Copies of this chain bind each other. A is one copy, B any other.
Amino acid sequence: MLTRVTELRTLIRTTRTRLADGRALAYYDDREPYVSGMATRALHDSRDLPAGQAQPTMRRDVLTGEWVIFAPHRMDRTHLPTAAQCPLCPSRPGALTEIPADDYDVVVFDNQYPSMIATAGPVPAWLDGDPLWPQCPAVGRCEVICFTSAHNTSFAELTPHRVATVIEAWVDRTRALSAMTQVRQVFCFENRGAEIGVTLHHPHGQIYAYPFVPPRTERLVAQAAAHRDRTGRDLFADMLTAELRAGLRVVYQGTSWTAYVPAAARWPVELHLLPHRAVPDLASLDSAERSELATLYPAMLQRLDKFFADQGDPGPVPYVAGWHQAPIGPGRDLVRLHLQLFSVRRAAGKLKYLAGSESGVGVWLNDTTPERIARRLRSLT
């Protein structure tokens, strides 16, 4: 059912530049004539942008031990502009956007409204300190990745050729960000759809580099460490074996990847992609794994978009797709890369909300079953 990209071309031309306010931008060109890097086509960012004043900070919650990030400047971020005002489309004369080129393939740049920044400034005046709630500037990175210059499309509609370029961009950024001193985890993700809070419709994702190990990753490390202590074995390998043995929740079994609904799926639609080999991050995928992923991933997104078609909902379906990578530092050998893809839509016209049980005490209620989700996804070939 999947068309494989047999010849994954390796020639991606990367061009790095700066925006008017100093933010970094990198083009990843994947086709002749590698347009955005060409001097004749690329534009100088001539916008009059204020120098970055944002100073996101973070505090550790004394009751949960978790860091919370404060970025009040984000309250003013661009909110659902019209297509003509889209800041992620290529620039046109008279309409300068975040991308100073008249076309591009894939581009990554520093977010104008970051939740974390590269260099700490002074601690802002509103912060009061106490040993009970450690606080500091939120040093890290928030990058935007545009998957295509075409405004009215989606990741599911990208060609495997283009998906392969996106993967190479994720790999490049994962590698670079992981090498930075403060970074403890790199998280590549896509939020799609107004129902999940997306403020820009242009197909894009985000890359966050956190200066701490996020709560979910901490749990993964703890669970995998306990499993290794108890059994001497790898948790992810055993989980994959058990899912394949059960079979009920497997949606696609490929050469290098398996797509399955986890036994304890917490969302009304949820699908995980797990590589068969124990790799910590995207950068560790070999070319066969990247190649299969370039076809498998958009194919799964296409199924997601059809999930509620039998209820009269033609899609697109809002989703979050997040690449869980191993932390940098302790626990790195315990966590395997995996994609978690989920939707908050629970039925045509109805959303799953995180109310008292989920947001209050952290207990997820699912109004369906993992087996039903898998059966539906398997039927959507």
Contacts and interface: CB of A to CB of B under 8 A. Distances in A.
Contacts of A357: 115, 187, 189, 208
Contacts of A197: 351-355
A223 B65 contact: yes
Interface of A: 59-72, 74-75, 79, 115, 126, 128, 130, 132-133, 135, 185, 187, 189-191, 196-198, 206, 208, 210, 214-217, 219-220, 222-223, 235, 238-239, 242, 245-246, 248, 262-266, 320, 322, 324, 340, 342, 346-347, 350-357, 359-372
A206 B356 contact: yes
Given A248-B128, A369-B72, A362 B191 contact: no
Question: Majority SS of interface residues in chain A?
Answer: mixed
B61 A361 contact: no
A369 B79 CA distance: 20
Contact of A362 (B214, B265, B353, B365): B214
A20 to B, nearest CB: 25
Kindly name the residue among A216, A220, A368 whose own CB sees the greatest number of chain B CB atoms within 10 A.
Answer: A216
Contact of A262 (B63, B217, B222, B239): B63
A219 B66 contact: yes
Given A62-B264, A74-B367, A354-B359, 9 more contacts: A70-B369, A126-B371, A126-B372, A128-B248, A133-B263, A187-B357, A190-B356, A196-B353, A197-B353
Kindly name the residue among A68, A133, A216 whose own CB sees the greatest number of chain B CB atoms within 10 A.
Answer: A68
Nearest to A131: B242
A206 B356 CA distance: 9
A67 B360 CA distance: 15
A130 B64 CA distance: 31
Nearest to A249: B128
A79 B350 contact: yes
